[in-house]
Each structure stands twice: as C-alpha cells, then as structure tokens.
Amino acid sequence: MTNPKSRTLKYTDGAIQFRLRITASLLSHRPLLITNIRPDDLDAPGLHEHEASFLRLIDRMTNGTKIEINATGTQLRFKPGVLLGGSVEHDCPVGDGARSVSWYLEGIMPLAPFGKEPLELTLNGITDGTSDVDPSCDYLSASFLPLYIKFGVGADDALPPPSIRVEKRGAAPLGCGRAHFYCPIVKELTPIELVEFGKVKRVRGNAISCRIPPSSAARVAHSAKGVMHRLLPDVWIHTDAHSSSGKRNKDGSPGGGCGPSPGLSVILTATTTEGVCLSAECSMSHNVESNRGVLQQNLHLERKKMELPEDLGKRSATMLLHEIFCGGCIDTSAQTFALLMMCLTPEDVSRIRLGSLSSYTVVSLRLLKEAFGVEFKLRVDEEVLGDGGSDEEEETGMKSSTVLCSCLGIGYRNMARAST
C-alpha cells in the first residue's frame, strides 16, 4: 500500500499560494505538481520572474532538489531536497511589478530553523513595502520575529537570536537595497499558548523616507501620533530619512544612503500588557503611468493625486486600530505563518487567538490539512467592546469576534541537524 506521505501534492489552479506550496513540499518531503500557471495570460504566461527567482533561491538553499518547468512555464514539477542553511546571497528582480525582498523572506522563514546549519541570507532588491502589496523588512522584524521566539527559535543561548537587518534602503521600483536575515537552527519547536490579549500599553513606530525631504517623514509621524494620542499617551514614532549617499563599507560593498527610487512608509507597533505585539504598515503608492509622454503632459495632475504625508500617517494609525479591534494575538498577515509553525510543533496541543480569518488563511487551512494531515479546531468568541457600565451601553457596544485555534502538532524534528 502506498504511503500517504509519499504521494505527490497536485494542484491545478495555477500559482495560487505559490510560496506556501513550495514550503509545504519541503517540510513534508512530498513531491509537488502545479499546472495551469496563467495559461490564459497572453502577455506573460507561466511563471513570473519573481516566482522563478524564488525557485532559484530554494535550489541554492537545498541539496538534491529537482525543479522541472515546461517550455511555456505553465507547469512545475518540484521534488524537495534537504535544507542546508549556511551563507547565501541572492539578487531579487527589480523593476515594474517586482516584489519586495520580504516576499521571499515570508516563504523562507518557516524553513530556516530546520536546516543543517544556521542560515545567513543576504537579499538584494526592494527592502521597503511595495504599495501595501508586500510588507517591508521592518514589518517582518516587528511581527514575525516575536513569533519565532515564542515557538522556541533562538531559545538556545549558544547561538545569536534570529534577526532581520536592513543594511541599505531600497524603495520600489528600482530597489538597490540590501537586507540580511539570520536564523539559528533548532531540533524541534515549542508548543505555543497565546490566547490572552491584555490591554495596549504603548505604541512605537518608525517613519521612513528615501530620497524625499526629511520633513515628509516628520509630517507622517506627527499625523499618526495625532490619532494615537487620543487613546493613550505612550506613543513614540521616530523618523528615518535616507539620502542617495555614495558611501561604501570597508569591504567595498554599498553602505549608507538608499537606492535611486523615492519612497515614504511608516510602520506602527502596539504592545499589550500580555506581551502581544500587533503591527500595521503603510507605504505610498508607486503606481505611476509608464507612458513618458502622458506623464510629462499630466505631471501636475499626477502630483495632485499622490497621497499627502498627513493622510499616510492617519491611514497607518487607522490600520493599527483595526488590528487592535480585531482582538487577535497576532497580525492578520502573520496568521498563515503561525498556523504552519503550529503544525510542526511536538505532539502537544498549541492554541492561539486570531482575529477575523483572512481568505488566504482559510485556503491555507485546507493546504495544511492535505500536506501534513493536521486539522485545526476553531471556536468563535464574541466580546462586546464597551465600558460595561450599564446594560444600555453593552447593547450599543461594538462586537469583536475572535477565533480560538488549536491543533495537535505532528512532532516535526530537524533531521538535517548534525548530532553532537
């Protein structure tokens, strides 16, 4: 009888959840077959440049991986190998439609703790967020790294903790930034118990500008603080302005300054009394008309359409307040990452409280069940947000629904780790 774990994961709906499927294939040691990858797209059928680049990065991080792509790029056969880790440097594509280096990190972070050696990954490309489509390295550092610690990654004092460091800023679309990611290896993860939200006690943030006057970052910070100060006094938002400096490090690598593209973004992080960290990030839109003639004729109209720094600051504060209102113990963007790590924990129950499940998370639950055989128990809790002073106030109060997720881990162990 065929072992279910050796059967191929087959998907016929194209490049949906591309990174998660590659990650699940590597962790479950099951071959992967993806068909119908944009067959009807006449301009760019098959795999896009950033997806092919992600496969090249996976190939460099593993040993024995086999990747087969047909002539049109609409079909992918992936046979997983063994994760190696070590020192890896990769150049991410830049230009119109390019993805941030954080798009690659989101797919790599679930794999990094299970390599043969600690991973030191250097990515060159767009380090800041791309018009709210991709997160920035700062967002992953504020949102994903605390989850790493809770799952036991970096608990060994003999190795440095996981970190994400931006060595040079690079905004979309031209990038030219540089980010460094370090992750130690573990033998196995730690079950998680994250269900108590607590109360928000402080907000920290950072307004980042590249090739834009520093006053714009200050305007963003001032606008965001104006919204948050209505709720609590402990709010600090720093400004981080970068210019196009040509300085270089002692080893000759680019250092300081930023890439040639202008950019403006802000990230806010709220911390609660129970140690929960919720983050929200906004960046200015980079969608500019590609036709140079039209752009020159309507340059004044394009400037009027661009978002003001004050509006950007208010939008970021509103997004953070929405995350807090949802009541989850992690960000909406980190739900799939947390659920995947829960599947890999030892054979013990892990529990976590989430806000409203995103559509991406719902599809991910089906994928995790197929790849690892893990079923999550979901229980909805409703809470009335009000002062609680009278029945009338409770009736008019806003309701916040949270989802309590629990599962039994599969006991995944890092077999590639050298025994001592």
Query: What was the pLDDT predicted at 102?
Result: 94
Please compute the mean of the pLDDT values over residues 285-314 and round it to a whole number: 59
Distance in angstroms (rounded) separating the CA atoms of residues 377 and 218: 45
CATH code of the domain made up of 1-83: 3.65.10.10
Residue found under tokens 């006991």: 411
Measured between its terminal Cα atoms, the distance across the chain in Å is 36
Matching fold, domains 1-83 and 200-286+307-326: no
The CA-atom distances, in angstroms, between 358 and each of 21, 30, 336, 397 are: 18, 27, 9, 24
Please compute the mean of the pLDDT values over residues 50-58 and round it to a whole number: 97
Say if residue 275's pLDDT is above 70. yes
Please compute the mean of the pLDDT values over residues 16-41 and round it to a whole number: 95
Which amino acid would we find at residue 13? Answer: D
State the DSSP code for 89: E
Please compute the mean of the pLDDT values over residues 302-314 and round it to a whole number: 78
Query: What was the pLDDT predicted at 301?
Result: 42
Q: Which of 122-126, 211-215, 345-349 has the lowest mean pLDDT?
A: 211-215
203-219: pLDDT as tens digits? 999 999 999 889 999 99
Neighbours of 233 (CB within 10 A): 8
Show the tokens assigned to 378.
Answer: 């979901």
Please compute the mean of the pLDDT values over residues 329-334 and round it to a whole number: 94
Angle among Cα 176, 184, 133 to the nearest 5 degrees reads: 40
> What angle, 0 to 180 degrees and rounded to 10, lies between the N-to-C axes of helices 18-28 and 335-343?
10
- pLDDT above 70 coverage of the chain, percent: 85
Query: What was the pLDDT predicted at 382?
Result: 75
Across the chain, mean pLDDT equals: 87
Query: What was the pLDDT predicted at 157?
Result: 74
Query: What was the pLDDT predicted at 258?
Result: 87
Say if residue 253's pLDDT is above 70. no
Residue found under tokens 């991080």: 61
Burial of 340 (0-12, 13-18, 19+ CB in 10 A): buried
Architecture of domain 200-286+307-326: 2-Layer Sandwich (3.30)
Check: CB of residue 185 under 8 Å from CB of residue 113. yes
> What angle, 0 to 180 degrees and rounded to 10, lies between the N-to-C axes of helices 49-61 and 101-108?
40
Query: Which of 292, 268, 254, 291 minimizes the C-alpha distance to 175?
Result: 254
**Domain spans of the chain, in order of start:** 1-83, 200-286+307-326
367-414: pLDDT as tens digits? 999 999 999 999 998 764 444 444 544 454 556 689 999 999 999 999
Distance in angstroms (rounded) separating the CA atoms of residues 233 and 300: 39
Strand order in the sheet with 200-210: 235-242, 200-210, 263-272, 277-283
Say if residue 167's pLDDT is above 70. yes
Query: What was the pLDDT predicted at 158?
Result: 76
What pTM did the predictor assign? 0.88
Residue found under tokens 């208010």: 314
Please compute the mean of the pLDDT values over residues 278-296 and round it to a whole number: 61
